[in-house]
Amino acid sequence: MTLNGWIQIAVAAVIVLALTRPLGGYMLRVGNGERHLLTPVLGWLERGFYRAAGVDPAQEQSWLTYALAMLVFKVGGFALLYAILRLQAVLPLNPAGQGPVSADLAFNTAVSFLTNTNWQSYGGETTMSHLSQMLGLTVQNFLSAAAGIAIALAVVRGFARRSAKTIGNFWADMTRITLYMLLPVCIIGALVIVWQGVPQTFAGSMQATTLEGAKQTISLGPVASQEAIKMLGTNGGGFFNANSAHPFENPSALTNMLQIIAIFSLGAALTNTFGRSVRDERQGWAIFGAMALLFLAGVLVLYWSESHGNPALVALGMDPSLGNMEGKELRFGIAQTALFSTVTTDASCGAVNAMIESFLPLGGMVPLINIMLGEIIFGGVGSGLYGFLLFAIVAVFVAGLMVGRTPEYLGKKIEAREVKLTMLAILCLPMAMLGFTALAVVLPGPASAISASGPHGFTEALYAYVSGAGNNGSAFAGLSANTPFWNTTLGIDMIVGRFFVIIPVLAIAGSMAAKKAVPPSSGTFPTNGPLFVGLVIGVILIVGGLTFFPALALGPIAEHFALNAGTLY
Amino acid sequence: MLRHIRPALVMLIGFSVLTGILYPMAITGIAQAVFPWQAQGSKIERDGTVIGSALIGQNFTAAKYLHPRPSATSEPDPNDASKTVPTPYAADNSAGSNLGPASKALVDRVSGDIANLQAENPGVPVPGDLVTTSASGLDPDISPAAAAFQVQRLAQARGLSRDKVSAIIAAHSAPRWLGVFGEPHVNVLAVNLALDAAAP
CB atoms within 10 A of CB B161: 11
Contact between chains at A4 and B180 (C-beta distance less than 8 A): yes
Measured distance CA(A194)–CA(B28) in Å, rounded: 10
Q: What values do phi and psi take at A467, rounded to 5?
A: -65, -40
Query: Among residues A22, A51, A349, which one has the least CA distance to residue A175?
Result: A51
Report domain extents, chain A: 19-205+217-279
Measured distance CA(A238)–CA(A165) in Å, rounded: 41
Measured distance CA(B37)–CA(B44) in Å, rounded: 10
* In the predicted structure, residue A482 carries a pLDDT above the cut 80: yes
A23-32, A266-275, A441-450, B27-36: range with lowest mean pLDDT: A441-450
Q: What distance in Å separates residue B165's CA from the closest CA in chain A? A: 18
**A66 near A170, Cβ under 8 Å?**
yes
B140 touching chain A per CB within 8 A = yes
Strand partners, A87: none
At residue B81, the pLDDT reads 78
The residue among A55, A133, A319, A337 with the most chain B CBs within 10 A of its CB, best to mutate, is A319
Contacts of A329 in chain B (CB under 8 A): 134-136, 139, 141
Contact between chains at A49 and B42 (C-beta distance less than 8 A): no
* In the predicted structure, residue A238 carries a pLDDT above the cut 90: no
Closest partner residue to A139 (CB to CB) among B15, B28, B107 is B15
pLDDT tens for residues A3-24? Answer: 999 999 999 999 999 999 999 9
| Distance, CA of B51 to chain centre | 14
The contacts of residue B139 (CB under 8 Å, 6+ apart) are A247, A329, A330, A331, B57, B68, B69, B71
pLDDT tens for residues A516-550? Answer: 998 888 888 899 999 999 999 999 999 999 999 99
For residue A557, give the amino acid letter: I
The residue among A46, A330, A336, A482 with the most chain B CBs within 10 A of its CB, best to mutate, is A330
Secondary element (H or E) of residue B184:
none
At residue A519, the pLDDT reads 86
Report domain extents, chain B: 2-38, 42-198
Measured between its terminal Cα atoms, the distance across chain A in Å is 28
pLDDT mean across residues, chain A: 95
Q: What distance in Å separates residue A238's CA from the closest CA in chain B? A: 11
Closest partner residue to B126 (CB to CB) among A240, A256, A319 is A319
B55 touching chain A per CB within 8 A = yes
At residue A114, the pLDDT reads 93
Query: Among residues A49, A50, A69, which one has the least CA distance to residue B4?
Result: A69
Measured distance CA(B122)–CA(B115) in Å, rounded: 10
Contacts of B92 in chain A (CB under 8 A): 125-126, 205, 217-219
Average pLDDT of span A113-129: 90
Measured distance CA(A388)–CA(A458) in Å, rounded: 28
Contacts of A477 in chain B (CB under 8 A): 96, 98
Helices (H), A481-565: 484-514, 530-552, 558-564
At residue A4, the pLDDT reads 95
Beta strands B141-142 and B185-187: pairing type? antiparallel
Closest partner residue to A200 (CB to CB) among B31, B133, B177 is B31
The residue among A216, A255, A261 with the most chain B CBs within 10 A of its CB, best to mutate, is A216
* Cα separations in angstroms, B104 against A277, A308, B108, B110, B186: 55, 19, 6, 10, 30
Secondary element (H or E) of residue B45:
strand B43-46
**A369 near A460, Cβ under 8 Å?**
no
DSSP letter at A169 equals -
* In the predicted structure, residue B30 carries a pLDDT above the cut 80: yes
* In the predicted structure, residue A346 carries a pLDDT above the cut 90: yes
Reduced to 3 states (helix: H, G, I; strand: E, B; else coil), residue B124 is: coil
Strand partners, A207: A217
CB atoms within 10 A of CB A144: 28
Average pLDDT of span B19-29: 96
Contacts of B84 in chain A (CB under 8 A): none
Average pLDDT of span A20-43: 95
The contacts of residue A511 (CB under 8 Å, 6+ apart) are A63, A158, A417, A418, A421
Strand partners, B45: B50
Measured distance CA(A19)–CA(A272) in Å, rounded: 10
| Distance, CA of A450 to chain centre | 24
Reduced to 3 states (helix: H, G, I; strand: E, B; else coil), residue A194 is: helix
For residue A380, give the amino acid letter: G
For residue A15, give the amino acid letter: I
Q: What values do phi and psi take at B50, rounded to 5?
A: -75, 120
CB atoms within 10 A of CB A53: 21
Secondary element (H or E) of residue A215:
strand A215-219
B28 touching chain A per CB within 8 A = yes
Average pLDDT of span A236-260: 95
* In the predicted structure, residue A472 carries a pLDDT above the cut 90: yes
At residue A126, the pLDDT reads 86
For residue A472, give the amino acid letter: N
Query: Among residues A530, A534, A234, A548, which one has the least CA distance to residue A391?
Result: A534
**A437 near A476, Cβ under 8 Å?**
no
**Interfacial B residues in 151-170 facing A (CB < 8 Å):** none
The contacts of residue A287 (CB under 8 Å, 6+ apart) are A271, A274, A275, A385, A388, A392
Report, in this order, helix, strand and coil percent for chain B, each rounded to 5.
Answer: 45, 15, 40
Average pLDDT of span A375-384: 93
B1 touching chain A per CB within 8 A = yes
pLDDT tens for residues A72-97? Answer: 999 999 999 999 999 999 999 998 88
**A209 near B51, Cβ under 8 Å?**
yes
* In the predicted structure, residue B2 carries a pLDDT above the cut 80: no
* Cα separations in angstroms, A14 against A10, A234, A268, A286, A304: 6, 20, 12, 17, 21
Measured distance CA(A29)–CA(A47) in Å, rounded: 17
* In the predicted structure, residue B197 carries a pLDDT above the cut 90: yes
CB atoms within 10 A of CB A83: 14
Closest partner residue to A331 (CB to CB) among B114, B131, B185 is B185
Helices (H), A221-349: 223-232, 253-277, 281-306, 311-314, 333-346
At residue A332, the pLDDT reads 97
Contacts of A77 in chain B (CB under 8 A): 12
Q: What values do phi and psi take at A209, rounded to 5?
A: -110, 115
Contact between chains at A355 and B143 (C-beta distance less than 8 A): no
Q: How would residue A246 be classed by pLDDT, with cut points 50, 70 and 90? A: very high
Measured distance CA(B153)–CA(A216) in Å, rounded: 26
Reduced to 3 states (helix: H, G, I; strand: E, B; else coil), residue A347 is: coil
The residue among B3, B25, B61, B98 with the most chain A CBs within 10 A of its CB, best to mutate, is B98
At residue A470, the pLDDT reads 94
